[in-house]
Structure 1
Amino acid sequence: MTYPKCGTTWTQEVVWTMRNNPNLDHPKAGAPISARSPFIDSDMLMEMGKEKSKGLMFELLKDAVPDADPNEGIALQLTAHTPDPRTIKTHLPFSLMTPDLLDTAKVIYVARNPKDVVLSFLHHCRLIKTIGYVGSLDQYVDYFVNDLLIYGPYWEHLREAWPQRDHPNMHFLFYEDMKADPKAEMKKLDRFLGTNLTEEQLEKIAHYTSFEEMKKHEKEALQGKNMDTFLDQEVLKKDGGFYRKGQAGSWKDRLTDTDQSKIDIWTKENSLTLGISFKYSI
């Protein structure tokens, strides 16, 4: 669970691998991540629940449920038929999930410096054809700090999660910590998930889920061979794909002083009430 572009897909792959593929020999490890770990919001985002949608997700669902009705929600049905142990992805805040979520499931929440979030989200909205954002970076920053983007407001999303960080079924993870020392963070995840992995397994998973390794298999892991049909090829060639840079602090080279100031003021106004701070924030 997290606001978009905070490292959700990376964490999703890490967690699925730790729980289902600790020895890196699972026969379905090469399948798209959405098949192995359903993204329950995708019916809403991609209108996949419509009968006319016969894309990759629908084919995945038909493999799992031959008589499935796409009008009942492709991602939701795929989730219901995913074998245990299930790893489910969502960008929805706690207020839009079942009230007893933390009493019935383990939740991993990923947070990231908002300056990096806005740049990653901007790239995503330019790259995905169905979104097709064509405005400027300055305009996008304004949308972000004025809480006009989908899944926002960003701080309200955090405000619902941060106070619950000490719940025994809640694990709060910072993207910057995962980048700085992935193996150390995976050890924390190992304890939280109860996967009891060995040092060797953790070492191999850290390498397997590194940005460089995941980038090599981007197409297959995200949307299979059909991925290019979803992406703006000009943006892809100029600025990179879904896995763009995988860095912490890259905003320093992209945001103008004006945009940095806007986000700094907005961050201070909101973070003080939460008592939360981000690395590389100012």
Structure 2
Amino acid sequence: MLLDSGHKATLLEGEELAQQQKDFHGYKEGLLRLNPGRWLYTARFTKFANKIYNFKWKTGDVVVMTFPKCGTTWTQEIIWTMRNNVNFDHPLAMEPAMDRAPFLDCDMFLPEEIAPDSPFMAECPSFQRLCRGADPKDGVYLQIAAAIPEPRTIKTHLPFSLFHPSLLDTAKVVYVVRNPKDVFFSYLHHSRLLVDHGFVGSMKDFMKYFINGDLVYGAYDEHVKEAWERRDHPNLHLLFYEDLKANTLKELRKLSDFIGTELTDDELKKIAEYTSFDQMKARDNDKLKDFYNHDIWKKDGGFFRKGQKWWLEEKPSRGRHC
């Protein structure tokens, strides 16, 4: 199947699919490979790929683009707060972040059949509010992204090549880069925690998938490379996770200048505190809990963890169990 992006989609078969489904119990409906790029996605991605490629961007849109586990949720909360909640009194501020700043490509992980009265839809207030009468099968988060009021902040883990070239000429993109060692450990935990991945293999197995670009979303270095090649575009801002942690206020000033919010230092300091790890965890209204492996959750924590250099702490203690 040829996508509008020019990528050829091919379903995984045989031993490769069997090994993936042995290690990732969440991939029961299959996987597909996109070339060029060897991107790997769930089989349902083809249902939404062309809609995402042809998504109608607006001049005021800000897109938070990252490979998984690079600080996406933190960044999207910072940007949404800068643009919508500078006084911390927005009526929707306590809704899940992915409803306020929707995860554009999330639909490929959702069940094919989602009843309008299902528990999942009951916990998706923005779809109920903004997409009345719409069919969830046409993409819950895709439709939310199209319907949310301006200014829109939208999150994606897809690379630039799966979007229409007009994206950067229309919207602004904040691309977040993180030390790949930390990405690895965070993605490992994420893949064990969420049942739609359901990883049950060893750390050594996961490392092979990561190095070879055989995790869902493909190769980290290729993903970053596509952003780096566009680094001089005026509508692209490269944000390094480590810089954001080390000097949050300085990086928030750069973000504010880039997205045009013109916030004062006092306002930025308050936003830095409001979006700190402790405060975000305290406000955690993560509806993904229904999709957690609760044994992993109790043992290793949920979605919000420390955001630290996991390889420094975990390699000595956990490397023996590879």
Mapping 1:21-170, distance limit 5 Å:
21-47=85-111, 50-52=113-115, 54=118, 55-56=120-121, 59-170=125-236
Q: 1:181 aligns with which of 247, 255, 260?
A: 247
Mapped partners of 2:124, 2:178: distance in 1 = 32
1:33 to 1:163, Cα distance in 2 relative to 1, 3 A: same
User: How many Å separate the matches in 1 of 2:240 and 2:289?
Assistant: 30
Tell me, in whole angstroms, the C-alpha distance in 2 between the residues paired with 1:231 and 1:118: 19
Residue in 2 aligned with 1:253? 313
Letter in 2 for 1:250: W
- From 78, 83, 87, the equivalent of 1:14 is 78
**What 5-or-longer segments of structure 2 have no aligned partner?**
1-64
The CA deviation at 1:26 is 0.7
Amino acid corresponding to residue 115 of structure 2 in structure 1: K
Amino acid at match of 2:129: D
Give the aligned residue type for 2:290: T
Query: Distance between the aligned counterparts of 2:126 and 2:257, measured in 1?
Result: 32
Tell me which amino acid in the other structure corresponds to 2:152: R
Tell whether 2:292 aligns with 1:231.
Answer: yes
Distance in 2 of aligned mates of 1:41 and 1:50: 17
Cα separation, 2, equivalents of 1:163 and 1:77: 30
* Deviation at residue 256 of structure 1 after TM alignment: 5.8
Partner Cα separation in structure 1 for residue 272 and residue 66 of structure 2: 21
The alignment covers a number of residue pairs equal to 251
Shift of 1:252: 1.5
Q: Could you tell me how far apart the structure 1 residues matched to 2:124 and 2:164 are?
A: 26
Residue 212 of structure 1, CA deviation: 1.0
Aligned equivalents of 1:59, 1:185: Cα separation in 2: 32
Deviation (angstroms), 1:62: 2.1
8 Å CA contact 1:171–1:192 kept in 2: the answer is: yes
| Local SS of the residue matching 1:184 | helix
Q: Is the 8 A contact 1:41 1:90 kept in 2?
A: yes
Matches within 5 A, 1:264-275: none
| Alpha-carbon distance between aligned partners in 2 of 1:138 and 1:36, rounded to the nearest angstrom | 37
Please give the secondary structure, in 2, of the residue aligned with 1:15.
helix
Q: Which has the higher strand share?
A: 2
Query: Counterparts of 1:214 and 1:174 in 2: how far apart (Å)?
Result: 20
How much is the aligned-residue C-alpha RMSD, in angstroms? 1.7
List alignment gaps of at least 5 residues for structure 1. Answer: 260-282
Please state how far the C-alpha of 1:253 moved relative to its aligned partner.
2.0
| Segments of 4+ moved more than 2 angstroms | 49-54, 56-60
- 1:270 is aligned to none
Give the Cα–Cα distance (whole angstroms) in 1 for the partners of residues 176 and 234 of structure 2: 16
Match in the other structure for 2:19 = none
2:67–2:157 CA contact under 8 A, matched in 1: yes
Please report how far the alpha carbon of residue 206 of structure 1 lies from its aligned counterpart in structure 2 after TM superposition.
Answer: 0.1
Q: CA deviation at 1:70?
A: 1.4
Task: Tell me, yes or no, if the aligned pair for 1:58 and 1:70 is still in contact at 8 Å.
Answer: no
2:102·2:141 contact (CA, 8 Å) conserved in 1?
yes
Residues 50 and 58 of structure 1: is their aligned pair in 2 closer, same or farther, counting only changes over 3 Å?
Answer: farther
Q: Distance in 1 between matches of 2:79 and 2:113?
A: 30
